Amino acid sequence: MPSPADRLARLTRKPERALGTREEMNRLLDGQLVGTLATVVDGQPWVVPMLYGRDGDRILLHGSTGAGALRQVASGAPAAFCVTAVDGLVVAESTFESSANYRSVVIRGSLESVTGQTKSDVLQRITARIIAGRNDEVRPSTAKEESATIGLAMAITPDNWIMKQRSGDPGRPEGPVDVWCGVVPMTVTAGVPVAAPWSVGPVPPSVTNFVRAHPAP
Amino acid sequence: MPSPADRLARLTRKPERALGTREEMNRLLDGQLVGTLATVVDGQPWVVPMLYGRDGDRILLHGSTGAGALRQVASGAPAAFCVTAVDGLVVAESTFESSANYRSVVIRGSLESVTGQTKSDVLQRITARIIAGRNDEVRPSTAKEESATIGLAMAITPDNWIMKQRSGDPGRPEGPVDVWCGVVPMTVTAGVPVAAPWSVGPVPPSVTNFVRAHPAP
């Protein structure tokens, strides 16, 4: 079962085989909610899932000023951010050849802390990416909220990311097969919104549009 | 927007607040296909998405013998494996309070290389976890396939993992709100299987069961 790891690892051996355009990477990043942030703490790997938003050539993250481990990353430690979309299960004529259709990107660099006025700007931009239109439906952040948060940005440069992807049918075996082979499409799907008990008013456009943007496969 | 990172980071400050039972972690691990493997290479964070399977108290991974970076992890380097499920978008009365419902686990340890007869056993166990019943529908791996692969295992011990999760409504604000608030449920959903051109026979039980196990939210 050749895995995404195999393909990413191969990049370190044959960089010219890297797949994926900047536009494809943007589409991947803009279609997912959560990535995995990795850094090194005391020589050990440290990894955490995070909500994020892409803003042009930046990955934006948002956290709490009380989160010590996040400060470690904010201080300029080397970091890697990984986003993966699983697009399908690849069911081949052997388990060895079976795999997943997927798209993944790893961006390497360091996170910069964003301070001052631009901090609420970071939250607004993340929100705009995750649930477009929501910023216009809600109150602005308070000064207290602002002071409790940390905004982080990682630059996307022409050469600090690698994207890999697989799509389509299982590889065709040399001989005939005697079993069903194919792909089961998969996607992250949104269901019917559930209002909180104290919610007021109808489901707003931001939520309706979010649901529409995450249909079943 | 308090993020999963905030909550995981807090664990490093107040370990007693760790949430999630072993059973909940098993359910998380057994319900996802891909995790993110992190290690340290030359002092830098190295991260890659991988298909995996849980087998009792082990995380099993499967890769190519040609993948140098994976060998780095196989050789006993410290590693962390992160699996995240996004269960919903939490739409609060402010962007600051908005979040995601999620479950995540980070398992720390080192990967052990699995050799010999147990290597094909690793592949079978991963397959059994990802798509139950498929092992019985296909031919066994060949000796050539066996020799091209590497099986890796990471032990799950009572104290080498942390799980965090959020579920339910947005936090209730102190004052009244004037906007819709609630949760948009999300899940990884399987669609209608698509046969490869050379596929033979009907969609088998393994695939039908996989689709049933991944319904729309």
Over its length of 217 residues, how does chain B's per-residue pLDDT go in tens digits? 444 444 444 444 333 334 789 999 999 999 999 999 999 998 999 999 999 999 999 999 987 766 655 777 777 889 999 999 999 999 999 988 899 999 999 999 999 888 776 777 888 999 999 999 999 999 888 888 888 888 899 999 999 999 999 999 999 888 889 999 999 999 999 999 999 999 999 999 999 999 999 999 9
Asked if pLDDT for residue A114 goes beyond 90, the answer is no
CB-CB under 8 Å, A51 with B99 = yes
Within 8 A by CB and 6+ apart from B53, the residues are B59, B60, B125, B126, B127, B128, B129, B130
Interface test with A, best of B107, B184, B188 (most A CBs within 10 A): B184
pLDDT number for residue A75: 77
Question: Which range is most confident: A92-101, A105-114, A193-202, B148-157?
Answer: A193-202
What domains, with CATH codes, occur in chain B? 4-86+102-167 (2.30.110.10)
B6 min Cα distance to partner chain A (Å): 6
CB-CB under 8 Å, B48 with A180 = no
Question: The tokens of A28 are what?
Answer: 């991947």
Burial class of A38 by CB neighbour count within 10 A (0 to 12, 13 to 18, 19+): buried
pLDDT number for residue B117: 67
- Centre a 10 Å sphere on the Cβ of residue B66 and count the other Cβ atoms it contains: 14
Report the DSSP beta bridge partners of residue B63: B150
- CA neighbor of A171 nearest in space, from A98, A70, A64, A88: A98
Asked if pLDDT for residue A160 goes beyond 60, the answer is yes
Question: What's the whole-number mean pLDDT along residues A202-207?
Answer: 98
Please state, for a pLDDT cut of 90, what percent of chain A lies above it: 65
Interface test with B, best of A184, A194, A208 (most B CBs within 10 A): A184
- Centre a 10 Å sphere on the Cβ of residue A128 and count the other Cβ atoms it contains: 17
Report the DSSP beta bridge partners of residue B106: B82, B162
- CA neighbor of A81 nearest in space, from A61, A102, A55, A56: A61
Chain A hits for B186, Cβ within 8 Å = 188-191, 214
Which residue of chain A is at minimal alpha-carbon distance from B190? A186
Termini Cα distance of chain B: 24
Asked if pLDDT for residue A149 goes beyond 60, the answer is yes
A38-47, A190-199, A204-213, B3-12: segment of lowest average pLDDT = B3-12
B3 DSSP assignment: -
Report the DSSP beta bridge partners of residue B185: B88
CB-CB under 8 Å, B51 with A99 = yes
Chain A hits for B214, Cβ within 8 Å = 186
Asked if pLDDT for residue A14 goes beyond 60, the answer is no
pLDDT number for residue B10: 43
Phi, psi of B161 (to 5 degrees): -140, 150
Asked if pLDDT for residue A15 goes beyond 90, the answer is no
pLDDT number for residue A19: 76
Question: What's the whole-number mean pLDDT along residues A175-180?
Answer: 92
Question: The tokens of A24 are what?
Answer: 């494809």
Within 8 A by CB and 6+ apart from B52, the residues are B29, B33, B34, B35, B59, B60, B61, B81, B83, B126
Distance from C-alpha of A105 to C-alpha of A26, rounded to nearest angstrom: 10
Give pLDDT tens digits for A31-82. 999 999 999 998 999 999 999 999 999 999 987 766 655 777 777 889 999 9
Strand order in the sheet with A58-64: A53-55, A58-64, A149-155, A112-114
CB-CB under 8 Å, B5 with A50 = yes
Q: What is the DSSP string of chain A?
A: ---HHHHHHHHHH-GGG----HHHHHHHHHH-SEEEEEEEETTEEEEEEEE-EEETTEEEEEEETT-HHHHHHHTT-EEEEEEEEEEEEEE-SBTTT-EEEEEEEEEEEE-EEE-TTHHHHHHHHHHHHHSTTGGGTSBPPPHHHHHTEEEEEEE--TTSEEEEEE-SSPPPPSS---S--EEEEEEEEE---EE-TT--SSPPHHHHHHHHTS---
Chain B hits for A53, Cβ within 8 Å = none
